Amino acid sequence: MKYNISHFLTKLIEHEGMVLTVYEDSLGIETIGIGRNLKDRGISKEELEYMDIVNIGAVYDHGITEADARYLAMNDIKIVENELVAVHPCVEKLDSVRQLVLMDMAFNMGVPRLCKFLKMWNAIHEQNYEAASFEMLDSRWAKQVGRRATILSDAMKNGEF
């Protein structure tokens, strides 16, 4: 992939925020750090060991550090990237900005939900980024995330942030 992972992490923090204690996201799902979904992904034993945290209970009781949040987010980025490229190999051929847009969307809503944007994906395959941008905004996701959708849609259309 061509996108800059450090730049992406910065964008994720801007869009997702960074909360070092367990909280409920807009859908009521327990979350921590930079959008780590504790219900679906949780925190693995290996991740807890790396962060020098005894068990998941300690995360609920005391939270995590900023370094821990960044570590978990980098792990999530790798997982999302692998999932996205597995179902849409065309992503690897896109420029870095459009890769970052799709990674941001995938990180936010999950790859399975992003795959349901059929008209957007058809437009991307046709390299019709204006249509892809329109389809991004013509969605429930855009209404849920507001300004984030506008920023990402503009980047998809213009190839720059």
**pLDDT tens digits, 128-160:** 999 999 999 999 999 999 999 999 999 999 999
Examine the pLDDT at 122 and tell me if it is beyond 90: yes
List the one residue out of 109, 115, 108 whose CA is nearest residue 87: 115
List the domains of the chain with CATH numbers. 5-158 (1.10.530.40)
pLDDT in tens, 103-113: 999 998 899 99
Examine the pLDDT at 123 and tell me if it is beyond 90: yes
Average confidence score pLDDT of the chain: 95
Joined together, the tokens standing for residue 31 give 């979350």
Give the whole-number percent of the chain exceeding pLDDT 90.
92
Q: Which residues of 29-66 are buried (b: 16+ CB within 10 A; e: fewer)?
A: eebbbbbbebeebebeeebbeebebeebeebeeebbee
User: Rounded to two decimals, what is the model's pTM?
Assistant: 0.89
Examine the pLDDT at 27 and tell me if it is beyond 90: no
**pLDDT value of residue 25:** 87
**What are the φ/ψ torsions at residue 22 (nearest 5 degrees)?**
-65, 135
